[in-house]
Structure 1
Protein backbone atom coordinates (compact mmCIF):
# COMPACT_ATOMS: atom_id res chain seq x y z
CA UNK A 1 0.00 0.00 0.00
CA UNK A 2 1.07 3.57 -0.62
CA UNK A 3 0.72 6.36 1.93
CA UNK A 4 0.43 9.47 -0.20
CA UNK A 5 1.94 12.82 0.75
CA UNK A 6 0.40 16.27 0.55
CA UNK A 7 2.44 19.23 -0.72
CA UNK A 8 1.53 22.88 -0.51
CA UNK A 9 2.15 24.04 -4.07
CA UNK A 10 2.85 27.53 -5.30
CA UNK A 11 0.90 27.47 -8.54
CA UNK A 12 -2.82 27.64 -9.16
CA UNK A 13 -4.18 24.43 -10.64
CA UNK A 14 -1.72 22.14 -8.86
CA UNK A 15 -3.04 18.82 -7.66
CA UNK A 16 -2.56 19.51 -3.97
CA UNK A 17 -3.39 22.15 -1.36
CA UNK A 18 -2.41 25.59 -2.64
CA UNK A 19 -0.59 28.50 -1.03
CA UNK A 20 -1.22 31.81 -2.79
CA UNK A 21 1.49 34.46 -2.94
CA UNK A 22 0.63 37.42 -0.73
CA UNK A 23 3.50 39.53 -1.97
CA UNK A 24 5.01 39.87 -5.41
CA UNK A 25 8.50 39.47 -3.98
CA UNK A 26 7.64 36.07 -2.51
CA UNK A 27 6.56 34.80 -5.92
CA UNK A 28 10.02 35.70 -7.24
CA UNK A 29 11.94 34.24 -4.30
CA UNK A 30 13.83 31.14 -5.56
CA UNK A 31 13.97 29.64 -2.07
CA UNK A 32 10.21 29.88 -1.68
CA UNK A 33 9.67 28.44 -5.16
CA UNK A 34 11.95 25.47 -4.41
CA UNK A 35 10.33 24.98 -1.01
CA UNK A 36 6.86 24.60 -2.53
CA UNK A 37 7.80 23.08 -5.90
CA UNK A 38 6.12 19.76 -6.66
CA UNK A 39 9.26 18.57 -8.49
CA UNK A 40 11.96 19.40 -5.92
CA UNK A 41 13.94 16.51 -4.48
CA UNK A 42 13.57 15.92 -0.74
CA UNK A 43 17.07 17.28 -0.09
CA UNK A 44 16.51 20.39 -2.20
CA UNK A 45 13.12 20.96 -0.57
CA UNK A 46 14.55 20.73 2.93
CA UNK A 47 17.37 23.15 2.06
CA UNK A 48 15.03 25.66 0.42
CA UNK A 49 12.48 25.55 3.22
CA UNK A 50 15.33 25.97 5.71
CA UNK A 51 16.20 29.24 3.99
CA UNK A 52 12.60 30.43 4.12
CA UNK A 53 12.14 29.47 7.78
CA UNK A 54 15.48 30.72 9.07
CA UNK A 55 15.30 33.89 6.99
CA UNK A 56 12.02 34.84 8.74
CA UNK A 57 10.69 36.10 5.41
CA UNK A 58 7.25 34.53 5.88
CA UNK A 59 4.59 34.40 8.58
CA UNK A 60 1.20 32.85 9.23
CA UNK A 61 -0.12 30.39 6.66
CA UNK A 62 2.92 30.77 4.41
CA UNK A 63 5.31 29.98 7.25
CA UNK A 64 3.10 27.01 8.12
CA UNK A 65 3.42 25.88 4.50
CA UNK A 66 7.21 26.08 4.72
CA UNK A 67 7.24 23.95 7.87
CA UNK A 68 4.79 21.49 6.31
CA UNK A 69 6.85 21.13 3.14
CA UNK A 70 10.11 20.80 5.06
CA UNK A 71 8.37 18.16 7.17
CA UNK A 72 7.44 16.34 3.98
CA UNK A 73 11.03 16.46 2.73
CA UNK A 74 12.33 15.16 6.06
CA UNK A 75 9.74 12.38 5.96
CA UNK A 76 10.99 11.30 2.54
CA UNK A 77 14.52 11.26 3.99
CA UNK A 78 13.09 9.14 6.86
CA UNK A 79 14.17 11.70 9.45
CA UNK A 80 10.88 11.11 11.16
CA UNK A 81 11.38 12.85 14.50
CA UNK A 82 12.54 16.04 12.78
CA UNK A 83 9.63 15.78 10.36
CA UNK A 84 7.21 15.41 13.26
CA UNK A 85 8.57 18.54 14.92
CA UNK A 86 8.08 20.55 11.72
CA UNK A 87 4.54 19.31 11.17
CA UNK A 88 3.65 20.07 14.78
CA UNK A 89 4.86 23.63 14.17
CA UNK A 90 2.86 23.89 10.94
CA UNK A 91 -0.30 22.86 12.79
CA UNK A 92 0.47 25.27 15.65
CA UNK A 93 0.77 28.13 13.14
CA UNK A 94 -2.36 27.09 11.20
CA UNK A 95 -4.67 24.76 13.19
CA UNK A 96 -7.01 24.44 10.20
CA UNK A 97 -4.27 23.14 7.87
CA UNK A 98 -5.62 19.80 6.58
CA UNK A 99 -2.49 19.10 4.54
CA UNK A 100 -0.27 19.29 7.63
CA UNK A 101 -2.50 16.89 9.56
CA UNK A 102 -2.35 14.44 6.66
CA UNK A 103 1.43 14.63 6.47
CA UNK A 104 1.76 14.25 10.24
CA UNK A 105 -0.51 11.23 10.09
CA UNK A 106 1.82 9.82 7.45
CA UNK A 107 4.79 10.22 9.81
CA UNK A 108 2.89 8.45 12.58
CA UNK A 109 2.06 5.65 10.14
CA UNK A 110 5.74 5.22 9.26
CA UNK A 111 6.45 5.09 13.01
CA UNK A 112 3.76 2.35 13.25
CA UNK A 113 1.61 4.49 15.56
CA UNK A 114 -1.55 3.80 13.60
CA UNK A 115 -4.03 5.15 16.13
CA UNK A 116 -2.37 8.58 16.09
CA UNK A 117 -2.16 8.41 12.30
CA UNK A 118 -5.89 7.74 12.05
CA UNK A 119 -6.62 10.56 14.50
CA UNK A 120 -4.72 13.00 12.28
CA UNK A 121 -6.44 11.76 9.13
CA UNK A 122 -9.79 12.13 10.94
CA UNK A 123 -8.95 15.76 11.68
CA UNK A 124 -7.85 16.44 8.10
CA UNK A 125 -11.16 15.01 6.86
CA UNK A 126 -13.13 17.03 9.43
CA UNK A 127 -11.46 20.18 8.09
CA UNK A 128 -11.87 19.13 4.44
CA UNK A 129 -14.48 16.37 3.99
CA UNK A 130 -13.49 15.91 0.34
CA UNK A 131 -9.74 15.48 0.97
CA UNK A 132 -8.93 12.40 -1.13
CA UNK A 133 -5.36 11.98 0.15
CA UNK A 134 -6.53 11.79 3.75
CA UNK A 135 -9.09 9.11 2.88
CA UNK A 136 -6.42 7.15 1.00
CA UNK A 137 -4.00 7.28 3.91
CA UNK A 138 -6.62 6.45 6.49
CA UNK A 139 -7.57 3.48 4.34
CA UNK A 140 -3.96 2.33 4.45
CA UNK A 141 -3.95 2.62 8.24
CA UNK A 142 -7.16 0.59 8.54
CA UNK A 143 -5.64 -2.08 6.31
CA UNK A 144 -2.59 -2.28 8.53
CA UNK A 145 -4.87 -2.65 11.54
CA UNK A 146 -6.56 -5.57 9.74
CA UNK A 147 -9.90 -3.84 9.08
CA UNK A 148 -10.38 -4.49 5.37
CA UNK A 149 -13.95 -3.19 5.24
CA UNK A 150 -13.06 0.22 6.67
CA UNK A 151 -10.02 0.34 4.38
CA UNK A 152 -12.22 -0.38 1.39
CA UNK A 153 -14.73 2.30 2.38
CA UNK A 154 -12.06 4.98 2.78
CA UNK A 155 -10.29 4.12 -0.46
CA UNK A 156 -13.59 4.23 -2.32
CA UNK A 157 -14.17 7.72 -0.92
CA UNK A 158 -10.67 8.76 -1.99
CA UNK A 159 -11.53 7.68 -5.54
CA UNK A 160 -14.94 9.37 -5.35
CA UNK A 161 -13.35 12.72 -4.46
CA UNK A 162 -10.41 12.34 -6.85
CA UNK A 163 -11.11 9.86 -9.66
CA UNK A 164 -7.62 10.46 -11.05
CA UNK A 165 -5.76 9.52 -7.86
CA UNK A 166 -3.87 6.55 -9.26
CA UNK A 167 -2.41 5.40 -5.95
CA UNK A 168 -5.88 5.04 -4.41
CA UNK A 169 -6.88 2.59 -7.16
CA UNK A 170 -3.71 0.61 -6.49
CA UNK A 171 -4.38 0.57 -2.77
CA UNK A 172 -8.02 -0.42 -3.21
CA UNK A 173 -6.96 -3.11 -5.65
CA UNK A 174 -4.66 -4.51 -2.98
CA UNK A 175 -7.54 -4.56 -0.46
CA UNK A 176 -9.73 -6.40 -2.98
CA UNK A 177 -6.84 -8.83 -3.49
CA UNK A 178 -6.68 -9.42 0.26
CA UNK A 179 -10.45 -10.00 0.23
CA UNK A 180 -9.95 -12.56 -2.59
CA UNK A 181 -12.02 -10.49 -5.02
CA UNK A 182 -9.85 -10.99 -8.09
CA UNK A 183 -12.16 -9.31 -10.60
CA UNK A 184 -12.33 -6.02 -8.71
CA UNK A 185 -8.62 -6.15 -7.88
CA UNK A 186 -7.71 -6.55 -11.56
CA UNK A 187 -10.07 -3.72 -12.52
CA UNK A 188 -8.48 -1.33 -10.02
CA UNK A 189 -4.90 -2.23 -10.92
CA UNK A 190 -5.81 -1.78 -14.60
CA UNK A 191 -7.17 1.70 -13.89
CA UNK A 192 -4.04 2.57 -11.92
CA UNK A 193 -1.88 1.46 -14.85
CA UNK A 194 -3.92 3.61 -17.26
CA UNK A 195 -3.54 6.65 -15.01
CA UNK A 196 0.05 6.15 -13.87
CA UNK A 197 1.98 3.09 -15.11
CA UNK A 198 4.41 1.87 -12.45
CA UNK A 199 6.29 -1.25 -11.41
CA UNK A 200 4.19 -2.02 -8.34
CA UNK A 201 0.91 -1.85 -10.28
CA UNK A 202 2.16 -4.36 -12.86
CA UNK A 203 3.55 -6.62 -10.14
CA UNK A 204 0.28 -6.49 -8.19
CA UNK A 205 -1.89 -7.20 -11.21
CA UNK A 206 0.50 -9.96 -12.23
CA UNK A 207 0.10 -11.51 -8.79
CA UNK A 208 -3.68 -11.62 -9.19
CA UNK A 209 -3.34 -13.19 -12.63
CA UNK A 210 -0.85 -15.71 -11.21
CA UNK A 211 -3.15 -16.66 -8.34
CA UNK A 212 -6.08 -17.12 -10.73
CA UNK A 213 -3.91 -19.28 -13.01
CA UNK A 214 -3.85 -16.77 -15.87
CA UNK A 215 -0.15 -17.43 -16.33
CA UNK A 216 0.35 -15.80 -19.73
CA UNK A 217 -1.17 -12.56 -18.48
CA UNK A 218 0.88 -12.75 -15.30
CA UNK A 219 4.08 -13.24 -17.32
CA UNK A 220 3.16 -10.28 -19.53
CA UNK A 221 2.68 -7.99 -16.52
CA UNK A 222 5.91 -9.09 -14.86
CA UNK A 223 7.66 -8.61 -18.19
CA UNK A 224 6.31 -5.08 -18.44
CA UNK A 225 7.57 -4.38 -14.91
CA UNK A 226 11.02 -5.57 -16.00
CA UNK A 227 10.85 -3.44 -19.15
CA UNK A 228 10.03 -0.17 -17.41
CA UNK A 229 12.40 -0.83 -14.48
CA UNK A 230 15.13 -3.17 -15.75
CA UNK A 231 17.25 -2.83 -12.60
CA UNK A 232 14.35 -3.80 -10.30
CA UNK A 233 14.64 -7.51 -9.53
CA UNK A 234 10.91 -8.00 -8.89
CA UNK A 235 9.81 -8.14 -12.50
CA UNK A 236 12.56 -10.60 -13.46
CA UNK A 237 12.10 -13.01 -10.58
CA UNK A 238 8.31 -13.07 -10.82
CA UNK A 239 8.40 -13.74 -14.56
CA UNK A 240 11.08 -16.36 -13.92
CA UNK A 241 8.73 -18.15 -11.55
CA UNK A 242 5.95 -18.17 -14.15
CA UNK A 243 8.36 -19.58 -16.73
CA UNK A 244 9.24 -22.38 -14.34
CA UNK A 245 5.54 -23.06 -13.75
CA UNK A 246 5.15 -23.43 -17.52
CA UNK A 247 8.14 -25.76 -17.81
CA UNK A 248 10.43 -23.21 -19.49
CA UNK A 249 13.49 -23.89 -17.35
CA UNK A 250 15.96 -22.12 -19.65
CA UNK A 251 13.79 -19.02 -19.79
CA UNK A 252 13.35 -19.12 -16.03
CA UNK A 253 17.09 -19.35 -15.47
CA UNK A 254 17.65 -16.36 -17.77
CA UNK A 255 15.17 -14.29 -15.73
CA UNK A 256 16.68 -15.37 -12.42
CA UNK A 257 20.12 -14.45 -13.75
CA UNK A 258 18.81 -10.90 -14.10
CA UNK A 259 17.00 -10.97 -10.76
CA UNK A 260 20.13 -12.06 -8.93
CA UNK A 261 22.22 -9.46 -10.73
CA UNK A 262 20.06 -6.75 -9.13
CA UNK A 263 19.16 -8.46 -5.84
CA UNK A 264 21.76 -11.06 -4.90
CA UNK A 265 20.36 -11.46 -1.38
CA UNK A 266 17.05 -13.06 -2.37
CA UNK A 267 17.22 -16.68 -1.21
CA UNK A 268 14.18 -17.69 -3.22
CA UNK A 269 15.76 -16.63 -6.50
CA UNK A 270 18.84 -18.73 -5.73
CA UNK A 271 16.61 -21.65 -4.78
CA UNK A 272 14.41 -21.39 -7.86
CA UNK A 273 17.33 -21.06 -10.24
CA UNK A 274 18.94 -24.06 -8.55
CA UNK A 275 15.76 -26.09 -8.99
CA UNK A 276 15.66 -25.20 -12.68
CA UNK A 277 19.32 -26.14 -13.16
CA UNK A 278 18.63 -29.43 -11.43
CA UNK A 279 15.84 -30.20 -13.88
CA UNK A 280 18.20 -29.47 -16.76
CA UNK A 281 20.86 -31.82 -15.36
CA UNK A 282 23.30 -29.12 -14.23
CA UNK A 283 24.08 -30.72 -10.87
CA UNK A 284 27.12 -28.59 -10.10
CA UNK A 285 25.29 -25.34 -10.85
CA UNK A 286 22.22 -26.53 -8.93
CA UNK A 287 24.30 -27.42 -5.88
CA UNK A 288 25.98 -24.01 -5.87
CA UNK A 289 22.67 -22.15 -6.14
CA UNK A 290 20.91 -24.26 -3.52
CA UNK A 291 23.83 -23.86 -1.13
CA UNK A 292 23.69 -20.09 -1.57
CA UNK A 293 19.94 -20.14 -0.89
CA UNK A 294 20.59 -21.98 2.38
CA UNK A 295 23.36 -19.58 3.30
CA UNK A 296 20.80 -16.80 3.12
CA UNK A 297 17.86 -18.79 4.53
CA UNK A 298 19.02 -21.84 6.50
CA UNK A 299 15.39 -22.89 7.12
CA UNK A 300 14.40 -23.01 3.42
CA UNK A 301 13.00 -26.54 3.22
CA UNK A 302 12.77 -26.80 -0.57
CA UNK A 303 16.47 -26.02 -0.90
CA UNK A 304 17.36 -28.45 1.90
CA UNK A 305 15.38 -31.27 0.30
CA UNK A 306 16.72 -30.64 -3.22
CA UNK A 307 20.30 -30.48 -1.98
CA UNK A 308 19.81 -33.72 -0.04
CA UNK A 309 18.43 -35.45 -3.14
CA UNK A 310 21.28 -34.09 -5.18
CA UNK A 311 23.82 -35.41 -2.67
CA UNK A 312 22.23 -38.85 -2.77
CA UNK A 313 22.65 -39.07 -6.54
CA UNK A 314 26.27 -37.93 -6.73
Structure 2
Protein backbone atom coordinates (compact mmCIF):
# COMPACT_ATOMS: atom_id res chain seq x y z
CA UNK A 1 0.00 0.00 0.00
CA UNK A 2 1.23 3.46 -0.81
CA UNK A 3 1.76 5.47 2.34
CA UNK A 4 2.46 9.12 2.92
CA UNK A 5 5.77 9.32 4.78
CA UNK A 6 5.73 11.24 8.04
CA UNK A 7 7.79 14.13 6.77
CA UNK A 8 7.35 17.47 5.08
CA UNK A 9 10.01 19.90 6.23
CA UNK A 10 13.65 20.07 5.35
CA UNK A 11 14.62 20.20 9.02
CA UNK A 12 13.59 18.00 11.89
CA UNK A 13 13.80 14.59 10.27
CA UNK A 14 11.73 11.65 11.47
CA UNK A 15 9.21 14.07 12.81
CA UNK A 16 11.83 14.97 15.33
CA UNK A 17 12.58 17.88 17.54
CA UNK A 18 15.09 20.30 16.17
CA UNK A 19 18.27 18.32 16.27
CA UNK A 20 19.02 19.40 19.80
CA UNK A 21 21.82 21.89 19.35
CA UNK A 22 20.11 24.05 21.94
CA UNK A 23 20.66 21.25 24.43
CA UNK A 24 24.27 20.93 23.38
CA UNK A 25 24.81 24.65 23.75
CA UNK A 26 23.43 24.50 27.26
CA UNK A 27 25.69 21.58 27.99
CA UNK A 28 28.63 23.63 26.80
CA UNK A 29 27.60 26.35 29.23
CA UNK A 30 27.54 23.85 32.09
CA UNK A 31 23.84 22.96 32.28
CA UNK A 32 22.92 19.28 32.39
CA UNK A 33 21.68 17.96 29.06
CA UNK A 34 18.89 15.96 30.62
CA UNK A 35 17.31 19.12 31.99
CA UNK A 36 17.01 20.78 28.60
CA UNK A 37 13.95 20.78 26.41
CA UNK A 38 13.49 21.50 22.75
CA UNK A 39 10.35 22.20 20.80
CA UNK A 40 8.92 20.16 17.94
CA UNK A 41 9.47 21.40 14.43
CA UNK A 42 9.05 19.83 11.02
CA UNK A 43 7.72 16.34 10.64
CA UNK A 44 9.90 15.33 7.75
CA UNK A 45 13.37 15.35 6.35
CA UNK A 46 12.70 16.09 2.70
CA UNK A 47 9.89 16.77 0.29
CA UNK A 48 9.58 14.08 -2.35
CA UNK A 49 9.42 16.46 -5.29
CA UNK A 50 9.21 13.74 -7.92
CA UNK A 51 6.22 11.98 -6.40
CA UNK A 52 4.42 15.29 -5.81
CA UNK A 53 5.19 16.68 -9.26
CA UNK A 54 2.46 17.84 -11.61
CA UNK A 55 3.52 15.16 -14.09
CA UNK A 56 3.11 12.39 -11.54
CA UNK A 57 -0.19 13.84 -10.30
CA UNK A 58 -1.45 13.95 -13.88
CA UNK A 59 -0.53 10.31 -14.38
CA UNK A 60 -2.21 9.28 -11.15
CA UNK A 61 -5.31 11.29 -12.03
CA UNK A 62 -5.58 9.30 -15.24
CA UNK A 63 -5.55 6.12 -13.13
CA UNK A 64 -8.33 7.53 -10.94
CA UNK A 65 -10.40 8.41 -14.00
CA UNK A 66 -10.05 4.86 -15.32
CA UNK A 67 -10.83 3.36 -11.91
CA UNK A 68 -13.24 5.77 -10.16
CA UNK A 69 -14.36 3.09 -7.68
CA UNK A 70 -10.88 1.93 -6.68
CA UNK A 71 -9.98 3.23 -3.18
CA UNK A 72 -6.31 2.38 -3.70
CA UNK A 73 -6.12 4.77 -6.66
CA UNK A 74 -7.31 7.64 -4.45
CA UNK A 75 -4.95 6.64 -1.64
CA UNK A 76 -1.97 6.64 -4.00
CA UNK A 77 -2.87 10.02 -5.50
CA UNK A 78 -3.62 11.41 -2.05
CA UNK A 79 -0.14 10.37 -0.94
CA UNK A 80 1.37 12.14 -3.93
CA UNK A 81 -0.63 15.27 -3.20
CA UNK A 82 0.59 15.14 0.39
CA UNK A 83 4.21 14.79 -0.68
CA UNK A 84 3.79 17.83 -2.89
CA UNK A 85 2.25 19.91 -0.10
CA UNK A 86 -1.24 19.94 -1.65
CA UNK A 87 -2.92 19.02 1.62
CA UNK A 88 -6.51 19.94 0.77
CA UNK A 89 -6.42 17.83 -2.37
CA UNK A 90 -4.84 14.99 -0.40
CA UNK A 91 -7.58 15.21 2.22
CA UNK A 92 -10.29 14.90 -0.44
CA UNK A 93 -8.65 11.80 -1.92
CA UNK A 94 -8.26 10.08 1.45
CA UNK A 95 -11.89 10.94 2.28
CA UNK A 96 -12.94 9.25 -0.95
CA UNK A 97 -10.71 6.22 -0.35
CA UNK A 98 -12.23 5.72 3.11
CA UNK A 99 -15.78 6.20 1.80
CA UNK A 100 -15.14 3.50 -0.79
CA UNK A 101 -13.41 1.20 1.72
CA UNK A 102 -14.39 1.96 5.34
CA UNK A 103 -11.75 -0.43 6.72
CA UNK A 104 -8.87 1.13 4.74
CA UNK A 105 -6.51 1.55 7.70
CA UNK A 106 -3.62 2.91 5.61
CA UNK A 107 -5.83 5.71 4.30
CA UNK A 108 -6.91 6.58 7.84
CA UNK A 109 -3.28 6.86 8.90
CA UNK A 110 -2.43 8.94 5.83
CA UNK A 111 -5.41 11.22 6.41
CA UNK A 112 -4.36 11.63 10.04
CA UNK A 113 -1.02 13.04 8.91
CA UNK A 114 -2.75 15.53 6.62
CA UNK A 115 -4.98 16.62 9.52
CA UNK A 116 -1.83 17.20 11.54
CA UNK A 117 -0.29 19.33 8.81
CA UNK A 118 -3.51 21.36 8.67
CA UNK A 119 -3.51 21.83 12.45
CA UNK A 120 -6.52 19.61 13.24
CA UNK A 121 -4.93 17.48 15.95
CA UNK A 122 -8.23 16.07 17.26
CA UNK A 123 -9.18 14.67 13.84
CA UNK A 124 -5.65 13.34 13.42
CA UNK A 125 -5.86 11.47 16.71
CA UNK A 126 -9.27 10.05 15.80
CA UNK A 127 -7.92 8.77 12.48
CA UNK A 128 -4.82 7.21 14.06
CA UNK A 129 -7.02 5.52 16.65
CA UNK A 130 -9.32 4.21 13.93
CA UNK A 131 -6.39 2.89 11.89
CA UNK A 132 -5.04 1.03 14.93
CA UNK A 133 -8.51 -0.27 15.81
CA UNK A 134 -8.85 -1.77 12.32
CA UNK A 135 -5.29 -3.16 12.28
CA UNK A 136 -3.60 -3.31 15.71
CA UNK A 137 -0.36 -4.41 14.00
CA UNK A 138 0.03 -1.36 11.74
CA UNK A 139 3.32 0.16 12.84
CA UNK A 140 3.01 3.40 10.84
CA UNK A 141 -0.12 4.42 12.76
CA UNK A 142 1.63 3.91 16.11
CA UNK A 143 4.59 6.01 14.95
CA UNK A 144 2.32 8.76 13.65
CA UNK A 145 0.24 8.80 16.80
CA UNK A 146 3.39 8.76 18.89
CA UNK A 147 4.60 11.87 17.11
CA UNK A 148 1.23 13.50 17.71
CA UNK A 149 1.42 12.64 21.42
CA UNK A 150 4.95 13.94 21.73
CA UNK A 151 4.05 17.23 20.10
CA UNK A 152 1.25 17.54 22.67
CA UNK A 153 3.69 16.91 25.53
CA UNK A 154 2.33 13.42 26.26
CA UNK A 155 5.81 11.92 26.44
CA UNK A 156 4.91 8.62 28.07
CA UNK A 157 2.09 7.96 25.59
CA UNK A 158 4.50 8.79 22.77
CA UNK A 159 7.12 6.46 24.19
CA UNK A 160 4.55 3.65 24.47
CA UNK A 161 3.57 4.03 20.81
CA UNK A 162 7.16 4.03 19.56
CA UNK A 163 7.83 1.02 21.79
CA UNK A 164 4.80 -0.77 20.32
CA UNK A 165 5.99 -0.13 16.77
CA UNK A 166 9.41 -1.53 17.67
CA UNK A 167 7.83 -4.58 19.28
CA UNK A 168 6.02 -5.11 15.97
CA UNK A 169 9.48 -5.40 14.34
CA UNK A 170 9.11 -2.17 12.40
CA UNK A 171 11.81 -1.30 9.91
CA UNK A 172 10.81 2.36 10.04
CA UNK A 173 13.77 4.36 11.43
CA UNK A 174 11.44 7.00 12.90
CA UNK A 175 10.38 4.68 15.70
CA UNK A 176 13.95 4.23 16.92
CA UNK A 177 14.98 7.83 16.29
CA UNK A 178 12.02 9.28 18.16
CA UNK A 179 12.34 6.86 21.06
CA UNK A 180 16.00 7.84 21.15
CA UNK A 181 15.01 11.50 21.43
CA UNK A 182 12.83 10.68 24.42
CA UNK A 183 15.64 8.73 26.07
CA UNK A 184 17.94 11.67 25.35
CA UNK A 185 15.57 14.19 26.92
CA UNK A 186 15.50 12.01 30.04
CA UNK A 187 19.29 11.79 30.24
CA UNK A 188 19.37 8.08 29.32
CA UNK A 189 22.08 8.58 26.75
CA UNK A 190 23.31 5.00 26.43
CA UNK A 191 19.81 3.91 25.42
CA UNK A 192 19.53 6.94 23.14
CA UNK A 193 22.82 6.09 21.41
CA UNK A 194 21.63 2.55 20.82
CA UNK A 195 18.37 3.76 19.27
CA UNK A 196 20.06 6.38 17.10
CA UNK A 197 22.49 3.71 15.91
CA UNK A 198 19.59 1.48 14.90
CA UNK A 199 17.95 4.38 13.06
CA UNK A 200 21.23 4.95 11.22
CA UNK A 201 21.42 1.30 10.22
CA UNK A 202 17.89 1.54 8.80
CA UNK A 203 18.40 4.90 7.10
CA UNK A 204 22.13 5.51 6.62
CA UNK A 205 21.64 8.47 4.29
CA UNK A 206 19.81 10.69 6.79
CA UNK A 207 21.76 13.25 8.79
CA UNK A 208 19.24 13.51 11.61
CA UNK A 209 20.15 10.41 13.66
CA UNK A 210 23.82 11.32 13.38
CA UNK A 211 23.09 14.68 14.97
CA UNK A 212 21.01 13.01 17.66
CA UNK A 213 23.62 10.39 18.45
CA UNK A 214 26.38 12.99 18.40
CA UNK A 215 24.61 15.00 21.08
CA UNK A 216 24.28 11.96 23.32
CA UNK A 217 27.94 11.12 22.75
CA UNK A 218 28.72 14.69 23.76
CA UNK A 219 26.61 14.36 26.90
CA UNK A 220 28.68 11.32 27.89
CA UNK A 221 31.92 13.24 27.19
CA UNK A 222 32.73 11.15 24.12
CA UNK A 223 33.80 14.18 22.13
CA UNK A 224 35.60 12.30 19.37
CA UNK A 225 32.60 10.19 18.41
CA UNK A 226 30.34 13.23 18.69
CA UNK A 227 32.57 15.15 16.31
CA UNK A 228 32.63 12.24 13.86
CA UNK A 229 28.84 12.09 13.87
CA UNK A 230 28.41 15.83 13.33
CA UNK A 231 30.88 15.72 10.45
CA UNK A 232 29.00 12.81 8.91
CA UNK A 233 25.74 14.73 9.23
CA UNK A 234 27.30 17.60 7.26
CA UNK A 235 28.67 15.20 4.66
CA UNK A 236 25.21 13.74 4.14
CA UNK A 237 23.46 17.11 3.92
CA UNK A 238 25.36 20.38 3.84
CA UNK A 239 22.23 22.50 4.10
CA UNK A 240 21.16 21.69 7.66
CA UNK A 241 21.99 24.51 10.07
CA UNK A 242 21.95 22.28 13.15
CA UNK A 243 24.75 20.10 11.82
CA UNK A 244 27.06 23.06 11.33
CA UNK A 245 26.21 24.48 14.75
CA UNK A 246 26.89 21.11 16.35
CA UNK A 247 30.27 20.96 14.62
CA UNK A 248 30.97 24.51 15.76
CA UNK A 249 30.21 23.52 19.33
CA UNK A 250 33.00 20.94 19.27
CA UNK A 251 35.44 23.46 17.86
CA UNK A 252 34.39 25.90 20.55
CA UNK A 253 34.86 23.34 23.30
CA UNK A 254 38.36 22.69 21.94
CA UNK A 255 39.21 26.38 22.00
CA UNK A 256 39.38 26.73 18.21
CA UNK A 257 37.32 29.90 17.93
CA UNK A 258 38.25 30.57 14.32
CA UNK A 259 36.85 27.28 13.06
CA UNK A 260 33.91 27.53 15.45
CA UNK A 261 33.01 30.97 14.13
CA UNK A 262 33.20 29.71 10.55
CA UNK A 263 30.81 26.83 11.26
CA UNK A 264 28.43 29.00 13.29
CA UNK A 265 28.46 31.50 10.41
CA UNK A 266 27.49 28.76 7.97
CA UNK A 267 24.64 27.68 10.27
CA UNK A 268 23.44 31.28 10.58
CA UNK A 269 23.62 31.69 6.81
CA UNK A 270 21.39 28.64 6.36
CA UNK A 271 18.97 29.79 9.04
CA UNK A 272 19.30 33.47 10.05
CA UNK A 273 16.71 32.96 12.79
CA UNK A 274 18.58 30.09 14.46
CA UNK A 275 19.55 31.66 17.79
CA UNK A 276 22.03 28.94 18.73
CA UNK A 277 24.02 29.79 15.60
CA UNK A 278 23.82 33.57 15.95
CA UNK A 279 24.69 33.45 19.65
CA UNK A 280 27.58 31.09 18.98
CA UNK A 281 28.88 33.33 16.23
CA UNK A 282 28.76 36.33 18.57
CA UNK A 283 30.77 34.40 21.16
CA UNK A 284 33.46 33.15 18.81
CA UNK A 285 33.85 35.87 16.19
CA UNK A 286 37.23 37.60 16.52
Asked whether the two chains share a fold, i.e. TM above 0.5, the reply is yes
Corresponding residue pairs, total: 241
1:184 is aligned to 191
1:274 is aligned to 282
1:171-210 correspondence runs (5 A): 171-197=178-204, 198-210=206-218
Q: Which runs of 5+ in 1 are unaligned?
A: 8-37, 283-314
The answer to whether structure 1 residue 124 and structure 2 residue 136 are counterparts is no
User: How far does residue 203 in structure 1 lie from its aligned partner after superposition?
Assistant: 1.2
2:60 is aligned to 49
TM-score, normalization by structure 2 = 0.76
- Please say if residues 186 and 205 of structure 1, whose CA atoms lie closer than 8 Å, have aligned partners that are also in contact: yes
- Please say if residues 84 and 107 of structure 1, whose CA atoms lie closer than 8 Å, have aligned partners that are also in contact: yes
- Please say if residues 148 and 179 of structure 1, whose CA atoms lie closer than 8 Å, have aligned partners that are also in contact: no
CA distance in structure 1 between the partners assigned to 2:214 and 2:192 by the alignment = 11
CA distance in structure 2 between the partners assigned to 1:146 and 1:261 by the alignment = 31
Q: Which runs of 5+ in 2 are unaligned?
A: 7-47
1:240–1:231 CA distance, 2 compared to 1 (3 A): same
CA distance in structure 2 between the partners assigned to 1:271 and 1:145 by the alignment = 28
Structure with bigger RCO (C-alpha 8 Å, 6+ apart): 2
Corresponding residue to 1:259 among 267, 270, 274: 267
- Please say if residues 111 and 127 of structure 2, whose CA atoms lie closer than 8 Å, have aligned partners that are also in contact: yes
CA RMSD, 1 decimal: 2.3
User: How far does residue 163 in structure 1 lie from its aligned partner after superposition?
Assistant: 3.5
CA distance in structure 1 between the partners assigned to 2:120 and 2:191 by the alignment = 30
Q: Deviations over 1:238-263 (max 9, x none)?
A: 11022112211122123234334434
User: How far does residue 70 in structure 1 lie from its aligned partner after superposition?
Assistant: 1.6
